Amino acid sequence: MSDDVLKSMRRREFIRTAAVGTVFVGVGGALLRLAADDLTKEARAEKRADGRAVLPPGQRVIEYLRPMGGEEGDGEVKSFRLKVHGAVKKPFEVDYKGLLKLPQVTKAADVHCVTGWSMIGGTWKGVQIKALAELAELKEGVKHVILEAAHGFTANVPLDEATRDNALITYRLNGKPFELRHGAPVRALIPDLYFWKSAKWITGVRFVTKDEPGYWETRGYHNHANPWLEERYG
């Protein structure tokens, strides 16, 4: 088991322990203390390996993913298909069983929603987008990845960020399948950008030579979406 996974497990255990006493009221109601505030303070004090704070500015820690809406896919494993295409030499498509036959990884990663919440220390399982890129053999000049999802939703991600070690097509969080509201059966994970970039109910990974702003990017949200720079809106 990797150090990252062990760290994630310890974090989640701390969160579960803290959650038991989420609210403490002192004598006469003088003190109201939220465990979430302690978790937020702790996360702000921690540093990542790259030197950045674990918790980006303007964020607060929550224990579980919060449902953020969107037009749901059907959520069925039996109908899942992932199309890998675009500026590639060998486009391909896999069903759910085919996805599980590809090289699998487990990564500890935090996620940060543009609305201000962060979930720290989740353990995600799936296939790295960079592995899909290697199988598809990118053509020269690819600069972005377009994550395609149910009902025409798209999110654009720079190639270097979409192909980092922790950028995944994922089907498990903390050992459990996703609920439909969180993108079942399979979603994307781009943890170093705001969470709307991690498209739910994913159907395709398209490699392109020119940027194509997606659903939220064309509706006033920032095209890049770096949480540490608070790139929330364009």
Q: Is the dihedral of CA 226, 7, 174, 60 positive or negative?
A: negative
Phi, psi of 27 (to 5 degrees): -55, 130
Using CA atoms, how far residue 145 sits from 28, 133, 162, 179, 198, in Å, is 56, 10, 7, 25, 12
| H-helix or E-strand spanning residue 142 | none
Rounded Cα–Cα distance for residues 201 and 215 (Å): 14
Q: Which residue, chain included where needed, has tokens 């069983």?
A: 97
Evaluate if residue 94 carries a pLDDT over 50: yes
pLDDT band at residue 35 under the 50/70/90 scheme? low
CB contact at 8 A, 64 and 119: yes
State the Cα–Cα distance between residues 96 and 80, nearest whole angstrom: 6
pLDDT of res. 25:
38
pLDDT at 58 > cutoff 60: yes
Neighbours of 152 (CB within 10 A): 10
pTM for this one? 0.85
Domains of the chain and CATH, by start: 56-229 (3.90.420.10)
Is the pLDDT reported for residue 10 higher than 60?
Answer: no
Q: What whole-number distance in Å separates Cα of residue 202 and Cα of residue 68?
A: 15
State pLDDT tens for residues 193-222.
Answer: 999 999 999 999 999 999 999 999 999 999
Residue 111 predicted with pLDDT over 90: yes
- DSSP string across 37-104: HHHHHHHHH-B-TTSSBSSPTT-EEESSPPP---------GGG-EEEEEESBSS-EEEEHHHHHHSPP
Judged by average pLDDT, the poorest of 10-24, 105-119, 168-182 is 10-24
pLDDT of residue 17: 40
